[in-house]
A = this chain, B = another copy of it.
Amino acid sequence: MPEQITSRSAAEAADAADPLASIRSRFSLPDAVIYLDGNSLGALPTNVPAALADAVTRQWGTDLVTSWNRNDWWTLPRRVGDRIGALVGAAGGQVVCGDSTSVQLFQALAAAVKLRPERTALLTDGANFPTDQYVADSVGATFGRTVRRVSPADVSFDDEVGVVAFSVVDYRTGELWDVAELTQRAHDAGALIVWDLSHAVGALPVELDSVGADLAVGCSYKYLNGGPGAPAWIYVANRHQAALDLPLTGWHGHADPFSLDSGYRPSAGIEQARIGTPPVLSMLALEAALDVWAGVDLRAVRAKSLALSDLVIGYADAHLPDVEVVTPREHSRRASQVALRIPHAYAVTQALIARGVIGDFRAPDMLRLGCTPLYLSFVQTWDAMEQLRAVLAEGAWRNPAFARGADAVT
């Protein structure tokens, strides 16, 4: 990977030497756009439209209900789960795909607190993604646990702590936490840890099995490029599967679903984490989207990601005196996005979008720029920073069209 890139020509040289450069052809992206929001919604893989057209026209339209057998819809959650598992260091049979991250978090946290019945406290991060905090509060209220908010940076354990629910990456700042160390510390204290990998899966190597993770969840529409609202996934380590007691007992998780029994007997393996009928069309889009990972080494992804974010940070330091880099500078503490604190960040974000540079705003004052190595080049990243410099220098953000309306949703 390149040294710090401090010029457009250096960015061009880095692109010429990029081992992942050819992967960009696996995505369809508008020519006029520099897309720095793959950490919110990943880009469209080129093979997805045809896969989805086949799913709709042939599988649904022609084969109709027989597709559950004929086109293997029934095995889809497990099949996609295993493919996602391979990207997070999970051996087969520990991941299923389905539902939203919110629902999977409720499942995972509820099951986890029941695995530590004598422990009264559930820990989450006060800077965790809102849903993660809300679901922790709901699980706490439902199952009689006290919720404590503490940063992974400051966490301490006592023998009341039964479950820790952290995200691998801080969704605003892009800070990367030490999964191995925190997992070990939780276990040393007799607690279980539930990881949210939404901003990590597909962005950097995570080794759930080797760090001894207990449960994990994640989304599929960011760095996995599964499409808007692509179904999420849940990981349950093999050693926990026998004692698991999941609250969302849909018939797809039953040991013998087509017996149509009156009583629930969970499947013995990870299939117990299936719930109801999954959104097949969305899941088939995700399945096709996972093809972009063929032959891709996550270590190369990680190296390019850090080089891209080094470029962003270095540029901000050198050329943007009014901008504060919030994301940690140490590679070991940085995931795959850069958060910049900027006066009038909302309007600045909109002004950039108007110039074809798509990042996103997070309240109250941050511009997030996602570094997605599969389809983002060094030159694009350089050019995006030049545009940001121009927007700030020209005061382009002052345009009233860029002011935050009451109906803004991103």
Contact = CB atoms under 8 A, between A and B. Distances in A.
A395 interface: no
A276 B358 CA distance: 23
Given A100-B99, A409-B258, A279 B229 contact: yes
Contacts of A33: 64
Contact of A277 (B29, B229, B280): B229
A43 interface: yes
B130 A277 contact: no
A250 interface: yes
Contacts of A52: 52-53, 56, 281
Contact of A276 (B48, B101, B353, B409): B101
Interface string A242-253: 000001111110
A61 interface: yes
A329 interface: no
Given A73-B228, A133-B263, A260-B130, A249 B138 contact: yes
Contacts of A332: none
Contact of A61 (B28, B57, B60, B232): B28
Contact of A100 (B29, B276, B408): B276
A8 interface: no
Most chain B CB atoms below 10 A, which of A53, A56, A65: A65
Interface in A5-62: 28-30, 33, 35, 37, 40-41, 43-44, 48-49, 52-53, 56-57, 59-62
The A contact surface, by secondary structure, is: mixed
A409 to B, nearest CB: 4
A336 B264 CA distance: 28
Contacts of A252: 102
A187 B258 CA distance: 35
Contact of A250 (B56, B134, B248): B134
A360 B64 CA distance: 12
B249 A100 contact: no
A399 interface: no
Contact of A363 (B129, B259, B363): B259
Most chain B CB atoms below 10 A, which of A69, A143, A279, A360: A279
Given A41-B65, A410-B69, A106 B248 contact: yes
Interface of A: 28-30, 33, 35, 37, 40-41, 43-44, 48-49, 52-53, 56-57, 59-62, 64-69, 73-74, 99-103, 106, 126, 129-131, 133-135, 137-138, 142-143, 149, 172, 219, 221, 227-232, 247-252, 254, 257-264, 275-283, 285, 353, 358, 360, 362-363, 408-410
26 contacts: A28-B57, A37-B64, A44-B56, A49-B53, A74-B409, A99-B100, A99-B103, A103-B103, A103-B248, A106-B247, A130-B257, A130-B260, A130-B262, A131-B251, A131-B276, A133-B262, A134-B250, A137-B249, A138-B264, A228-B277, A229-B281, A230-B279, A258-B408, A258-B409, A258-B410, A279-B279
Given A100-B278, A103-B276, 19 more contacts: A29-B61, A30-B61, A41-B60, A41-B65, A52-B53, A52-B56, A65-B360, A66-B358, A73-B228, A100-B250, A100-B276, A102-B252, A138-B249, A142-B142, A142-B143, A229-B283, A230-B281, A258-B408, A281-B282
